[in-house]
Structure 1
Amino acid sequence: YSAPLYVNAEFENGETGEIKSQTVFMGDFPLQTPHGTFIIGGTERVIVSQLVRSPGVYFDRTPDRSSDKEVFGAKIIPSRGAWLEFEIDKRDFLGVRVDRKRKQSAIVFLMAIGMTKPEIREAFEGYPLVLDALENETIETQDEALTDLYRKIRPADTATPEAGRNLLDSFYFNTKRYDLARVGRYKINRKLGLEKDYNDRSLSQEDIVATIKYLVTLHAGGATFAGKRDGEDVELRVDVDDIDHFGNRRIRQVGELIQNQLRTGLSRMERVVRERMTTQDAEAITPQSLINIRPVNATIKEFFGTSQLSQFMDQNNPLAGVTNKRRLSALGPGGLSRDRASMEVRDVHPSHFGRMCPIESPEGPNIGLIGSLATFGRINPFGFIETPYRKVVNGHVTDEVVYMTADRDMDHVIAQANQKLDKNGDFVEKDALVRDAAGEAEDVPVDMVDYMDVSPRQMVSVGASLIPFLEHDEGHRALMGTNMQRQAVPLIKSERPLVGTGAEWRSAVDSGDVILAEKPGVVVYVSADIIRVMNDDGTTSSYKLAKFQRSNQTTCYNQVPLIKDGERVEKGTVLADGPATEKGEMALGKNLLVAFMPWNGYNYEDAVIISQRLVQDDTLSSIHIEEYEIDARETKLGAEEITRDLPNVGEDAVANLDERGIIRIGAEVEAGDILVGKVTPKGETELTPEERLLRAIFGEKSREVRDTSLRVPHGETGTVIAVKEITREDAEEDGDELPSGVNQMIRVYIAQHRKITQGDKLSGRHGNKGVISRILPEEDMPFLADGTPVDIMLNPLGVPSRMNLGQVLELHLGWVAHQGWDISLDPDLEAEWKQYVPKGAEKAEPGTPVATPVFDGVKQETLKGLLSTTLADRDGNKLVGDNGKATLFDGRTGEPFPKPISVG
């Protein structure tokens, strides 16, 4: 999936002035699919965005080891090129480091870049530290300064003013070697109060003077610094920079990463072009003959194939795919390395709020280095993450949404999203809890509030926003729950959660695994493979469905139509479900009846007991598709051959092969069965006398081949569902490329139907994971008063010490949703909890799905009230009491258990 790249190249002959122009092919360039992935070598890959330190100017203060004073430093960091560092040490000496070499006087550096002593005196009026250093400086002219500078940077070479000038130019003033990038210019302008054009990407005298002034002000303990912003004179706050702040870390997205690779490739190509220009005859030169595209192609191929940031797309389920694309990694080229990353870099920072999720991160050595974009975060043109806020005017919350970067929202007073508002959008209370400009939480009068959060789930990622009652889970367990949702295997029949958070539909749709109608219209044709819609504007849209394809994780990727012939659809209607979705909603698991109780010690230490019903009904069964490949090559002794005529193999072993020697579709295979018969020529061997006699009589050369067939590996079984065959001739017609020396390539796909068994891992959404220890017959499981057996027994000791109470609340709300409710069953009409029940949800049928959004969910008293008003069963009994507990009976003896048990 790529497109050819053509470039118009011109070659100008300096002597004759003639210009030859030509279109040059620059190689195939991978294209991005509509879902943001790349297809490289037949597999889907994702390029993960990288979190790096932004170019710009940074100030810091570090305590000096030998004295009680502090050392102040300033670094000008470009996007590429040499660093420039200034520092004021314990003796108040103003020094400079060029390209991380020895420290030398900053005054000499200023003179070397072309300032005279009177100019320096004028520029730094009112900065005694600089003026004193200027008086003590013995060097008088620019040439002396350049010589001195060169001598200190390159002590081995002879120092001349010319050499010094060239060195400085190549370090800081040559645009080819030094580039601040637009973002670096933006950061320098903001920090130092300059107003230079963003396209001015090289260092200037003005930048260096302003940096030294700011550093001296910081050292002197000054609070403000005069500068300009938006054309007005302003007093900027003087402060050191925190490099872990999201105002100082930016995102490099796919485009920029590829651009950097391309730049290296082109500079390698430039070398080749220069070389060829000197060797070839000037008259005969054409651009095509000079350009060698190999280095460019090689760098791009290397980036997509082997870069740390180019990852095999996680296609376990739709959530895994979405998360993979929204991942932010601090690792990779130009980033951090695992071993050198400190605690500070990994830590959650206040500026992550609404930008990077504080929960979703790996548990291993990468913790804190790999994160996930928060739900409403977006990336601005400079690569900084922005998060939305609602504007507040005089205590009235408007509908205007403003996106802000981390360095801007520090200047405002921001209220939280679940602050109570009346129907006009005014604050109900006089005071609001806010985060003030210093980053502290406090109550302030509402007319001081500038902005308000958009939504309570603004701070967490998509994965974490799918966990109901997340606010009742301890952080580590929430992290495990978020990460384990991505490992859920798509089941044969998906079932959406009874207790959701309201983010299920959006996350499934954005994963790109469900099919949506592009325009309004009427469905005219539906089959398992294709849906056709006659649109209102007279055009017809066809939507192809993927059937039983193998995903990157060998799970089964299958799409199922949801609509019927003749049905009317609007734009954005869900036409077909993908894996692990139901009716367009994310459906990662199953709704099971859970009891929190021990059972003969079989659920000790997080083990789980499940009912045989889950195996019989295929409740937790899934399909996995494996791919096996074999190719027939040209060898030194002749060509390999695909055939069913194999030496020393019985007829029953090849019974399922067709006349070509390839397995038939639908065959059930086990370990060791032949999938594709293949023979390879053997070398000539010394013949025994008997063979020589046979040879003499029959005059034929007995076939010297050995059996090299493709067989099913150990431990694998299943059904053959597809066979793909590519031969040399086909490949030339379709434009596919077979590797050289390969005549024929065959891929066999085998589907396995896996049932849940002992030793499999089961998990809830709250980090409550366990391994199945026993599968009990349905009749042995504990049952409710109406005879319903529970599906699964969890150890109650898994809750208190881990503090993930979300699972208990989910269990109770799940029972309410399963049974249905009617709040009028509570005789107290004015009950406090009823005001929290949304309009239209006063009563509900059994099996009604409910949503409890993250940080804004069901109140505990409401949950208690709902439990007391659940509908009774057909005999008029309420199986579960108002406290969420029920009397369970032992399936083996029929006796009730002594104490009520939480069921839901």
Structure 2
Amino acid sequence: MYNSNYYIPDLVEIQRQGFFNLLEKGIVEEISKRNPITCFEKQIEIFFYPEYYRLTKPFYSIQQAIFYKKSYVSKLYVPVQITDRKTKRVFLKWMLLAHFPLMTNRGHFLLNGSARVIINQLVRSPGIYFRENMHEIYSNKWSEKPSTSFRRFYADIICLKGTWLRIECDKDFSMWAKMKKGPKIPLLWFLLGMGLSEKYILNSVHKPMNLLESFTKEIEKNQRAKTFKELKYPYVSTSKKAWEQIQKLFKLKKTLRKSSSKNTFETKKSSIVSSSFTFFIQKRTEEKYNKNNETKSKKRIKNVQKGDPKQNSEKKIGSQLEAHELGRKWFSNKFMNPRTYDLGKQGRWSINKKLGLTIPIEQTTLTALDVLMATDSLMKIEDGFLEIDDIDHLKNKRVRTAGEALQEILSVGLIRLEKSIRLKLNGNTKQTFIQKNSFFNFHALISTRPMNGAFREFFGTHPLSQFMDQINPLAEITHKRRLSSLGPGGVSRDTATLAIRGIHPSHYGRICPIETPEGKNTGLVNSITTYAKISVQGFLESPFHKVYKGQVQKTLGVFFLAPDKEEHFQTATPDLRLTSLGFLPKNPIPVRIGKRFVRMRSHKLALMGVSPLQMISVATSFIPFLEHDDANRALMGSNMQRQAVPLIRPERPFIGTGLEARVVSDSGHAVLSKTSGYVIYSSGSKIYLYTF
């Protein structure tokens, strides 16, 4: 039975809170990222002041928007400053950027008269994850079981925007860096490209020889390859000198343990590695040049085979310093440019925590130290010093609310606006924007079309923007509290495994284990539990009471814990009988510690749940005697209640659980009084209250 002593949070608060975060921080963050916009010659500079943005009162009220089939939107105005450096003049004006969709108090949006809901999405949190891979070798292609198998490990660096990076160790212990597109490259080259010196790299990692293993592999491959086209790295292998030097390096490697040759190895090693890296960069730039001019590249390949002296001069693009500089530019543009790569504050915090770094939270691009420490950690995992990550744990997943989804679309619209402004500034001369009375023509430069188009596309075609389920109040609330793993940046329903769909111990008090659809979407579309809330970082939090020496400290209030913090405590079930002073029973009680369920004495406990409804969703808590039901039947009941069509004369259920009134009031369908009091008169048209 539902106990009124426990405070149940507002059931639509999750949607509203996400939108408030967008209004408070999101709009300012996104617009300030685009500052300043300049023309090619940098004569004209456009600067936005997003901290002063204003939203107007919507033209149509909610009722009018539904009746006339219009959108419930507000106009977004931002002050824009344009500086003309040539004439040394500054123009400032409030500009209309977009018609911004507003969320109603009930947690949905109104567009063209129809109610739309943005689903909360559960995605992998940006950061670094260490995983394992099984390499199986079969004696022949008909054998059922592998003759040998190897456990190898890899690290994925996941970002919000940009290319994902994988650092992997193969069965021969050689280490590679790999992106989604393009071939894998030796990790040592990657670290050199990030701006670290050979000596610093090899002194900082746990097993430096593993970084040099990838070179031997390349030599063996290139010796086996017959023609120039068969080579995996044509830009490296063309230089015989570089490979001869690397072969010398590995001959020296064998004599490393002898003390006399240690110094000679160190001195020769640095020159060899740097020279091979220089050749790699030189050939990379050549390859890019060849793509732009195909005819030249064909001639070049013929010349290489003939050994043309002209090719030798063409091969020398510049000095070694120039080649290094080109490599550095490529790396900095790919991983160190905030416009193309973004870990987000959450990603930076996660990487700092896992790798033991103290890089500032504002540094949201990848640094050389991140990759170096990730390499070191991967080597330690190989030796069993560190553990791999559980990808299905909720501490490694975060929720993207409606506000975040809108912020992303706002970013897309602003990028389009920036492109159109640059095109206009570079395409036309300055004079076309200066009017006769020497005022700047803002409207010719800044239009609302790019951002309005982005919002229209999102609400019309995005899979997470859906028509609101309006069959009954329960259907509405469930739709607004839904949690989907599908959609852009999530998983695909065709490739999702049982591990992704299954129930994890960390779901307790956060994701309902019962309410999920039947069929293809089982386990991929879930529901947030009754008491759960979403933290600022996007983690699902669950409430608990503190327990001190067997006494439940209810007077201290409720403590919301994230999944990573909760797994360290001993947590008791919430349906235990307490004494009048709040003491737990003396006999051993069921307790959860991380993934394990054990029985324990009450004086060892740290936390206790808030309510038996804590682990189930709103629709599931409507089912009486749920604990005696089969889970499959309860699942069907939870889903079928949402399909019940309200009749002309609503009636109370014969057996209720006490949550029905809250759902009707929170969904916005019931008429709510702003003040509390006694009802002294009621009729079909009016209700009189007596207040104090």
TM-score by length of 2: 0.71
Question: Unmatched 5+ residue regions in structure 1?
Answer: 223-237, 532-562, 571-904
* CA spacing shift, 1:503–1:525, aligned 2, 3 Å: closer
Counterpart for residue 74 of structure 1:
155
> Is 1:421 aligned to 2:578, yes or no?
yes
CA distance in 2, matches of 1:68, 1:406: 34
Does the residue aligned with 1:389 lie in a helix, a strand or coil? strand
Pick the aligned partner of 1:330 from 470, 481, 485. 485
* CA spacing shift, 1:270–1:525, aligned 2, 3 Å: farther
Deviations along 1:534-575, whole A, 9 cap, x unmatched?
Answer: xxxxxxxxxxxxxxxxxxxxxxxxxxxxx3x3x3158xxxxx
Deviates more, 1:497-506 or 1:130-139: 130-139
1:690-729 pair list within 5 angstroms: none
Pairwise CA distance, 1:452: 1.3
> Is 1:366 aligned to 2:521, yes or no?
yes
CA distance in 2, matches of 1:307, 1:260: 12
- Alpha carbons 1:40, 1:305 under 8 Å: kept: no
Deviates more, 1:119-128 or 1:16-25: 119-128
* CA spacing shift, 1:396–1:123, aligned 2, 3 Å: same
Does the residue aligned with 2:399 lie in a helix, a strand or coil? strand
> Is 1:466 aligned to 2:622, yes or no?
yes
Q: Supply the AA of the counterpart residue of 2:351.
A: I
Pairwise CA distance, 1:153: 10
CA distance in 1, matches of 2:442, 2:272: 51
Does the residue aligned with 1:355 lie in a helix, a strand or coil? coil
Counterpart for residue 181 of structure 1:
344
Deviations along 1:308-339, whole A, 9 cap, x unmatched?
Answer: 11111111111011101000111222222222
1:92-491 pair list within 5 angstroms: 92-124=173-205, 129=210, 140=272, 145=277, 148=280, 151=283, 155=287, 157=289, 160-222=323-385, 238-285=386-433, 286-399=441-554, 400=556, 401-437=558-594, 439-491=595-647
Pairwise CA distance, 1:289: 1.6
Q: Supply the AA of the counterpart residue of 1:368.
A: G
Q: Supply the AA of the counterpart residue of 1:466.
A: F
> Is 1:29 aligned to 2:100, yes or no?
yes
Pairwise CA distance, 1:42: 0.7
- Alpha carbons 2:121, 2:486 under 8 Å: kept: yes
* CA spacing shift, 1:283–1:131, aligned 2, 3 Å: same
Q: Supply the AA of the counterpart residue of 1:61.
A: E
CA distance in 2, matches of 1:445, 1:129: 49
CA distance in 2, matches of 1:263, 1:410: 36
CA distance in 1, matches of 2:470, 2:618: 16
Pairwise CA distance, 1:520: 4.2
CA distance in 1, matches of 2:132, 2:486: 26
Counterpart for residue 65 of structure 2:
none
Q: Supply the AA of the counterpart residue of 2:592.
A: R
Q: Supply the AA of the counterpart residue of 1:384.
A: F
Counterpart for residue 6 of structure 2:
none
Deviations along 1:842-886, whole A, 9 cap, x unmatched?
Answer: xxxxxxxxxxxxxxxxxxxxxxxxxxxxxxxxxxxxxxxxxxxxx
CA distance in 1, matches of 2:341, 2:105: 36
Does the residue aligned with 1:497 lie in a helix, a strand or coil? coil
CA distance in 2, matches of 1:332, 1:364: 17
* CA spacing shift, 1:142–1:14, aligned 2, 3 Å: farther
Pairwise CA distance, 1:155: 4.9
* CA spacing shift, 1:521–1:480, aligned 2, 3 Å: closer
Does the residue aligned with 2:547 lie in a helix, a strand or coil? strand
TM-score by length of 1: 0.55
Counterpart for residue 109 of structure 2:
38
> Is 1:568 aligned to 2:649, yes or no?
no
Which structure has greater strand proportion? 1
Counterpart for residue 61 of structure 1:
132
Question: Unmatched 5+ residue regions in structure 2?
Answer: 1-71, 138-147, 216-248, 251-268, 291-316, 318-322, 434-440
CA distance in 2, matches of 1:510, 1:106: 55
Q: Supply the AA of the counterpart residue of 1:57.
A: I
CA distance in 1, matches of 2:591, 2:524: 29
Deviates more, 1:15-24 or 1:245-254: 15-24
* CA spacing shift, 1:391–1:106, aligned 2, 3 Å: same
- Alpha carbons 2:117, 2:468 under 8 Å: kept: yes
CA distance in 2, matches of 1:521, 1:445: 46
- Alpha carbons 1:415, 1:449 under 8 Å: kept: yes
- Alpha carbons 1:185, 1:198 under 8 Å: kept: yes
Pairwise CA distance, 1:446: 2.2
- Alpha carbons 1:117, 1:140 under 8 Å: kept: no
1:656-667 pair list within 5 angstroms: none
Pairwise CA distance, 1:170: 1.6
* CA spacing shift, 1:500–1:522, aligned 2, 3 Å: closer
Deviations along 1:34-72, whole A, 9 cap, x unmatched?
Answer: 111111101111111111111110110111122421121
Deviations along 1:738-792, whole A, 9 cap, x unmatched?
Answer: xxxxxxxxxxxxxxxxxxxxxxxxxxxxxxxxxxxxxxxxxxxxxxxxxxxxxxx
The structure that has the greater radius of gyration is 1
Counterpart for residue 671 of structure 2:
515
1:584-663 pair list within 5 angstroms: none
Q: Supply the AA of the counterpart residue of 1:568.
A: Y
Q: Supply the AA of the counterpart residue of 1:346.
A: R
* CA spacing shift, 1:70–1:501, aligned 2, 3 Å: same
1:771-810 pair list within 5 angstroms: none
CA distance in 1, matches of 2:183, 2:390: 25
Q: Supply the AA of the counterpart residue of 2:575.
A: N
Q: Supply the AA of the counterpart residue of 1:410.
A: E
CA distance in 2, matches of 1:487, 1:386: 29
- Alpha carbons 2:199, 2:270 under 8 Å: kept: no
Counterpart for residue 90 of structure 1:
171
> Is 1:13 aligned to 2:84, yes or no?
yes
Deviations along 1:710-733, whole A, 9 cap, x unmatched?
Answer: xxxxxxxxxxxxxxxxxxxxxxxx
Q: Supply the AA of the counterpart residue of 1:265.
A: G
Q: Supply the AA of the counterpart residue of 1:33.
A: T
Pairwise CA distance, 1:524: 10
Deviations along 1:352-376, whole A, 9 cap, x unmatched?
Answer: 1111111111112211111110111
Q: How many residues align?
A: 520
Pairwise CA distance, 1:342: 2.1
- Alpha carbons 1:146, 1:165 under 8 Å: kept: no
Query: What is the root-mean-square deviation in Å for CA atoms of aligned residues?
Result: 2.5
Deviations along 1:455-494, whole A, 9 cap, x unmatched?
Answer: 1111110000010011111111111100000011111211
Does the residue aligned with 1:19 lie in a helix, a strand or coil? strand
Q: Supply the AA of the counterpart residue of 2:401.
A: Q
Pairwise CA distance, 1:263: 1.4
Which structure has greater helix proportion? 2
- Alpha carbons 1:6, 1:24 under 8 Å: kept: yes
Does the residue aligned with 2:526 lie in a helix, a strand or coil? strand
Percent identity between the aligned chains? 38
Does the residue aligned with 1:241 lie in a helix, a strand or coil? coil
Does the residue aligned with 2:136 lie in a helix, a strand or coil? coil
